[in-house]
Amino acid sequence: MSGPHISRTIADLRTELKGWRQQGLSVAMVPTMGALHEGHLSLMREALSRADRCIVSIFVNPTQFAPTEDLDKYPRQLEHDIERLREVGVHLAFTPSPDEVYPKGFATKIIVGGPSAGLETDFRPHFFEGVATVVTKLFQQATPDCAVFGEKDYQQLCVVRQMCRDLDIPVEIVGAPTVRDEHGLAMSSRNAYLDEAQLAIARRLNVILRGASAAISGGADPAAETASASLALLDAGFKTIDYVAARECGSLGPWRPETEGRLLAAAWLGSTRLIDNVEIAARS
């Protein structure tokens, strides 16, 4: 199987897209920052099942990193990533430079309200502004019919959906289930930072969240249960807990017993920050 076409510029991307559109082909997109793992590949397979052509962007977006965060050490392995795209059957890799995406004089930002409030924003106030801006640009550049995002980054998924609704961006946003290892740990590029002892601790995250979710849907007080889950994570070996929170699906407002929800968490292991979430069933 031949590898994907590689577009490094917006002009080349649009030239390829023009040919596809002239043939009447549908297009799906998977935005990524590279360092691809099985979780990413599952998004690509979903995209390929929904459209004639699949574009994967590989771009470590500087605007979603704060000065104190890991932009410089974020894993970059483009040759390996392109090989993974070839294995899955992706048609085009869009691999722009930062200057291509943010040329000199770039001064526009996209700010999304609603589901962006709280959770990640309490600790990374710059984050969703950077995500919303780059995703808007990618959608303008690639004009996909649909785009696939992982449910692991659940708040991000909700923010992108809100943005597309509010700005009338004609892209169907598809949420794909979180892919986990055999121990239940959500696949993440940042897992590569963890040593064996830390991995053993990290695998407790989903176990503790699932227990708390079951308790909440079964009648336990959400505030008490999220506080208990935070203590359980600290006891398991996590360094600090940014949040454990029960929220409604979609809006990410406070969870109500009659609604489907999500239990979301962010916690630190050493210098590595992990996030995860699990469903909360509505009380019957």
Q: Which of 40, 80, 126, 183 is catalytic?
A: 40
Kindly list the strands in the beta sheet with 5-7, ordered across the sheet, starting from the edge strand earlier in the chain: 5-7, 92-94, 53-58, 27-32, 146-150, 172-176
Helix H or strand E encompassing 213: helix 204-217
Q: Any known ligand binding at 36?
A: yes
C-alpha to C-alpha distance for 13 and 58, rounded to whole angstroms: 13
Q: Any known ligand binding at 22?
A: no
Q: Any known ligand binding at 26?
A: no
Q: How far are the Cα atoms of 7, 33, 95, 139 from residue 14, in angstroms, in the given order?
A: 9, 20, 13, 12
Q: Any known ligand binding at 1?
A: no
126 is catalytic: no
Q: Any known ligand binding at 18?
A: no
Q: Any known ligand binding at 141?
A: no
Nearest to 70 by CA among 274, 245, 240: 274
Q: Any known ligand binding at 77?
A: no
Q: Any known ligand binding at 104?
A: no
Q: Any known ligand binding at 153?
A: yes
Q: Any known ligand binding at 29?
A: no
Contact 101, 137 (CB under 8 A): yes
142 burial class (0-12, 13-18, 19+ CB within 10 angstroms)? buried
Q: Which residues are annotated as a binding site for (R)-pantoate?
A: 64, 156
Q: Which residues are annotated as a binding site for beta-alanine?
A: 64
Q: Which residues are annotated as a binding site for ATP?
A: 33-40, 150-153, 179, 187-190
Q: Which residues are annotated as a binding site?
A: 33-40, 64, 150-153, 156, 179, 187-190
Residues with active-site annotation: 40
